[in-house]
Amino acid sequence: MGPRDHSETPPGRATARPSGPPLAPTGRPVPAPPTAPPGWAPAEAAHGGEGGPPLWQQSPADPRPPSSLDRAPDPGGPPSSPHPAPDPGGPAGPGRPRRWLIVALGLVAVVALLGAALAVRSAGTGDDAGERASSPPPTAATTTSLPEATDAELRAAVDDISADVEDLRGLDFQEPVAVDLASDDEFEQRLLEDFDEDADELETAGVLLAAFGLIEPDADVVGAMRELLGGGVVGFYDPETRELVVRGTSLSPYVRITIAHELTHALDDQHFDLDRPEYDAADDETWYGFSALVEGSATRVERAYRQALSDDDRAAALAEETELASGVDPTAVPFALVEEIISPYVDGEAFVEALLDDGGQDALDGAFAEPPSTSEQVLEPDAYLAGEGGVDVAAPAVDGEALDEGVVGMRTVRAVLAAELGDEAAGSVASGWGGDRAVTWRDGGRSCASMAVEGDTAEDTSSLRVAFETWAEAAPDDRVVSGDGGAPLTVESCAG
């Protein structure tokens, strides 16, 4: 239901990569991913048409903005890798815009923005994320001091990087991949050419975020996403057209890292077909789950490729990332949107590592045929390995014309509760999430949402009730928690 991460690879688009260190999303005490060089962030943004779930449930391979309610992730699979379309289960919200989702994930500046936001939020908490965000950028040569790559130089570099990606991913390319390098102006034009087509869907997605207090009621979601995509995306791969484009005209270390990330998408696409438009019709979290899988796979390879570079090249790449991130205005982007964009990269990589630890290469490859269907399965991989999905919950009745309907999911429930309970307590309560269904509507100028939610057990449902009652006390005139004491409980909130 929430806004989708447009940097992930959706059907017809590939994922984009933000710059900066991977940071945990709001509302969840997440252990830091494997150590990476300062300033590390996903490298590319998906570019293509994705439509489906809300922003908060968007997937990496889908380029369109998410619907306000949760839906399935992006890409689809090749005939050799069957991946049946998930059962929509109920009325679906507006189609998810593909390009937007893919683009958001690929923003170079996204992680830097999150770091800046966390620096403010973490003041006085001792959180080292704030220290990383406020550290002065290293001095090193950037792409602006390097000559433009010739076609022959680019082809040779792509061949070399492709060989590294094959080794790191454990798969072989079935055919060479063509890579285009583009100047800033050309890249942004190609990336944002269809952006305005998704404006209405982005605004609808923002209704749920505003209703539950994740963004301000008057936040310009469309403008914020344009800011993020235009200034932060460094590359994209389109699984529908197999177009792979990277921002930059020289073969700088950072451009090479971005190419490695995008080539991983292309490699996965050749084996598992990432163009999965059927996920656009689903109103569950499959869209997000698939995005996390796709971006997690590429981010893991990107990290290993980066770590294999020399100290000088890593420093140069970080300097270039920092320079690119300076082009985005942090005050124009709500913190919740930044978190939405980077989650598939950060949480997706942790999910992929868990699959590899449990079943090796076969487990990772097999997940492309049966991706996670809930954010819980991504955040808590044991739930995915155990086949624990979400329970079906009936949509609540609302006093208005429904704008969108779908699953909110554990990840967003955690983020909502964190505002009043803090990350640790919110994460503990949200881990008992069993299933939900939400509807959004407008009440005059106010954004409203109603969610029916229940826990895995009666005790979990009780804990969710107590947590949401505490959350509602912060705005007693606008938030209501109701139910007969059993499952599900209903949480209704309006803002504006």
How is 109-141 classified by DSSP, letter by letter?
A: HHHHHHHHHHHHHTTTTT-HHHHHHHSPPPP--
Q: How confident is the model at residue 487 (pLDDT cuts 50, 70, 90)?
A: confident
Q: What pLDDT is attached to residue 144?
A: 52
Mean pLDDT, the chain, rounded, equals 76
Confirm whether pTM is higher than 0.85: no
103 confidence band (pLDDT: 50, 70, 90): very low
pLDDT at 307: 96
Asked if pLDDT for residue 30 goes beyond 60, the answer is no
Take residue 412 and report the two structure tokens written for it.
């967003």
Residue 312: pLDDT over 90: yes
d(CA 164, CA 81): 24
CB 287 within 8 Å of CB 406: no
* Mean pLDDT along residues 104-119: 46
pLDDT band at 232 (very low <50, low <70, confident <90, very high): confident
CA distance 87 to 299: 29
Percent of residues, the chain, with pLDDT higher than 90: 55
Positive or negative CA dihedral for 351, 283, 23, 99?
positive
Alpha-carbon span 236 to 16, nearest angstrom: 5
The domain ranges of the chain are: 1-389, 404-495
Q: What is the pLDDT of residue 282?
A: 76
Q: Give me the pLDDT at residue 114, please.
A: 54
Q: pLDDT grade, residue 201 (50/70/90)? A: confident
pLDDT range class, residue 1, cuts 50, 70, 90? low
Which are the contacts of 356, defined by CB distance < 8 A and separation ≥ 6?
363, 364
Whether the bond into 488 is cis, omega within 30 of 0: yes
Task: Check residue 277 and give its pLDDT.
Answer: 84
Average pLDDT value for residue range 82-102: 34
Is there a contact between 39 and 108 (Cβ–Cβ < 8 Å)? no
Q: How many CB atoms lie within 10 A of CB 30?
A: 18
With contact defined as beta carbons under 8 Å apart, do 368 and 268 qualify?
Answer: yes
Which carries the bigger pLDDT value, residue 21 or residue 275? 275
Least confident residue range of 12-16, 351-355, 366-370, 453-457: 12-16
Asked if residue 405 has pLDDT above 60, the reply is yes
